[in-house]
Amino acid sequence: MPIIDPLSKRLLCGAGHNGPVSLMYHAITPGTSQPDWPWALSFKKFCGQLTLLQDHGWSTLCANRLYVDLRTLPAKSVLITFDDGYADNYQAFEELAKRDMKATWFVVTQDIGKMSSWIDEGVPSSTLLTESQLLEMRDAGMEIGSHTLTHCRLTQVSQQQMEHETSESKKFLSNLLNQPITAFAYPYGLYNQDIINAVQNAGYKTAFTTRTGFGLVNHNPLEVRRISIMASDSLATFARKLAFADNSVGWKKMTHYSFSRIKDRLKRQ
């Protein structure tokens, strides 16, 4: 079992009863070195996180499990999600499949099998997964969802383009994979009620945000909360993110939490 500090381990052992936790990954780089891009993760660190989940009894679910009453899900439910669809995710898929674990990929459909064409400061351009790889992932029980056609900021485009980005990417993936596409992730986590309506009208049943916390925003499956997994996260940090469903789990916050628990216990005595 991976070794983490006693407090983080204790928090993780008591976690998993506040609703499902969704984790957001991007790139998974080969080897053991910490990537320069903060949104990437080394393959070694990713494997360590999977081992921690398994050792502590977490069940990995695909997005399609969120249609149902959340009370029917296993107590320790985690949704592993990948945004963009980078080709280096293929080794992550192979590792997940080897462990009989599930995940969901949100793919920018215009760039499948090509270099990523959207441009963001500090974000390296990378090759995306191919059509044949996505088909293999589908056959292995993974879920493939949409991340729009072009990775645009949906809050900054016209209504017509926003509807085109959501519906056409869904249609492309449905034709490619020969199955319904029901999961979507908002690029950059940007969305509003008009975008939610367009996503719903396009036929998606779940949509993932970057808002932290357990489960759903306002009990809405088109506003699934997610936690960001970063290059700098230690295994203990990862454990605390699972326990609190939050990106901010530094020791200052943990100390405040521990003192609050002690005060509560003293008041009850």
Mean pLDDT across the chain: 93
pLDDT digits (tens, 9 = 90+) for 116-156: 999 998 899 999 999 999 999 999 999 999 999 999 999 99
| CA distance to 96, 145, 160, 194, 196, per residue, from 166 (Å) | 28, 11, 10, 12, 10
Q: Which of 54-63, 100-109, 258-267 has the lowest mean pLDDT?
A: 258-267
Class for the domain spanning 6-268: alpha beta
In the chain, the amino acid numbered 206 is T
pTM of the model: 0.93
How many whole angstroms separate alpha carbon 33 and alpha carbon 45? 9
Spacing of C-alpha 127 from chain mean position: 20
What percent of the chain is predicted at pLDDT more than 70? 92
